[in-house]
Copies of this chain bind each other. A is one copy, B any other.
Amino acid sequence: MNKSPLRIGIAGLGTVGAGTIKLLESQAALISLRCGRDIKVTAVSARDKAKDRGVDLSGYKWHDDPVGLASDDEVDVITELIGGEDGAAKVLVEAAIANGKHVVTANKALIAHHGTELAKSAEAANVALAFEAAVAGGIPIVKAMKEGLAANNISRVFGILNGTCNYILSEMRETGKDFEIVLKEAQDLGYAEADPAFDVDGVDAAHKLAILTSLAFGCEVNFKDVYIEGIRHVSPLDIEFADDLGYRIKLLGIARKTDQGIEQRVHPCMVPLDAPIAHIEDVFNAVVADGDFVDTTMYEGRGAGEGPTASAVVADIVDIASDRRSNTFSIPADKLSKMKVAPISSHVGSYYVRFMVADKPGVFAAIASALHDNNVSMEAILQRGRSESEAVPVVLTTHEADEASMIATLEAIEKNEAVVEPPRLIRIESF
């Protein structure tokens, strides 16, 4: 071993920051053996110096201002674990790149919003900008997309990208409880934030999807055009019907090349039980990538938490220590194309729809005629229960249809007075 140690400055000492320090300390010998040089934390920055984080910070230089790390001569790699799409995280990353320091970050919001420009700056400055931890936590999916599958054109990448939502949906299925109750339990367990919107409304998954899309298709990161639907409207009733029909409901982020352009969408999906991703439960994440030579590959693991996220952060640091470099995305940043966006209205797929219907004659005829008028072909229809006084659920699944026709169909059916609440639509994903 004749290389000098690689010196790390860590900004942000929350769960992941403290976990990264613990990992680098406890695995120092192993990592040094693997990369042929030592990796040493030399400086840190966080809001509150006094807070007990379960790690001894006395050996590290303290910066009150994280941006100070970017000009610290004893730091080679800035590890940005502050979070947030703007503010201190962005200022720090820009300053680090400007000062010729490598950057490792777990910040999906930052990369989803500013990934293209940051990648261009980093490549112009010949420094690494690595973000394995930003997508699917501990799963080494960024490396797989950039390196492992480098020989492939990717046609689709999708996954369970938010552990909180997957936990809630798994738990709802197992217990039959409502969303709000399971959410509360998840919050008590620490699986969901006090303000759960970022997770349950699909924004976090959309950040990760936008990054995966660029890795897969070589286009600029385009978060703003991701179609996003969260899981608040998923009901135990739909979960039960899914079961009857041979599906699991999962919140998927899906990016796909179509004739209309690139689709990016995050929404609950009906996933057939014979697809392995249907069986990824609890807080686990999974990503599926379809390549033209490799065919379908899937990657599964924990998408969050101290250990898994630190594992991904340190994998990036180990790459830098080992002089393994790759493009920030899978092709050089200045070659990333503008995305041709396929709007959700042009999406073509199968659908599950549930109507709540009062038991009045003529409603099935109305459904049939709306389908016919909009050229949507029904695959199956089922009704559960029968009541003269209360509305009962009627579920139909369709063959492939475009989303615009589907929406028109629902609008027509909803006008029937026997349909007592807005229909629930869940897209069926085929594999």
Per-residue contact bits, chain A 273-292, to B (CB 8 Å; 1 contact, 0 not): 01010111100100000011
Tell whether, in the assembled complex, residue B302 and residue A33 are in contact, meaning their CB atoms are under 8 Å apart.
Answer: no
- Give chain B residues whose Cβ lies under 8 Å from the Cβ of A147: 140, 143, 315, 318-319, 324
A307 to B151, CA, bound (A): 10
Asked whether, in the complex, the Cβ of B307 is within 8 Å of the Cβ of A302, the reply is: no
- The answer, yes or no, to whether A15 is at the interface (CB within 8 Å) is no
Taking A147-B324, A276-B300, A318-B147 as contacts, is the C-beta distance between A152 and B293 under 8 angstroms?
no
A299 touches B297 (CB 8 A): yes
- Contact indicator B330/A307 (Cβ below 8 Å): no
Is the Cβ of A301 less than 8 Å from the Cβ of B297? yes
Task: Tell me if A34 counts as interface (CB < 8 A to partner B).
Answer: yes
Q: Which residue of B lies closest to A19 (CB)?
A: B293
Separation in Å of the A300 CB from the closest CB of chain B?
4
CB distance from A34 to the nearest CB of B (A): 5
Q: Within residues 97 to 121 of chain A, which ones have a CB less than 8 A from any CB in chain B?
A: none
B295 touches A149 (CB 8 A): no
Do B332 and A36 have beta carbons less than 8 Å apart?
Answer: yes
> A residues 234-289 with Cβ under 8 Å of B?
274, 276, 278-281, 284
B150 touches A314 (CB 8 A): yes
Q: A143-B147, A274-B279, A292-B307 are in contact. List 20 more A-B contacts (CB 8 A).
A: A27-B153, A33-B218, A34-B330, A34-B331, A138-B294, A138-B295, A140-B144, A140-B147, A143-B144, A147-B319, A147-B324, A150-B315, A151-B310, A151-B311, A151-B314, A293-B311, A295-B305, A298-B299, A323-B323, A324-B325
17 cross-chain CB contacts under 8 A? A33-B331, A132-B148, A138-B291, A138-B294, A140-B143, A140-B144, A143-B143, A150-B318, A151-B318, A293-B308, A293-B314, A294-B307, A295-B301, A295-B305, A297-B301, A298-B298, A323-B325
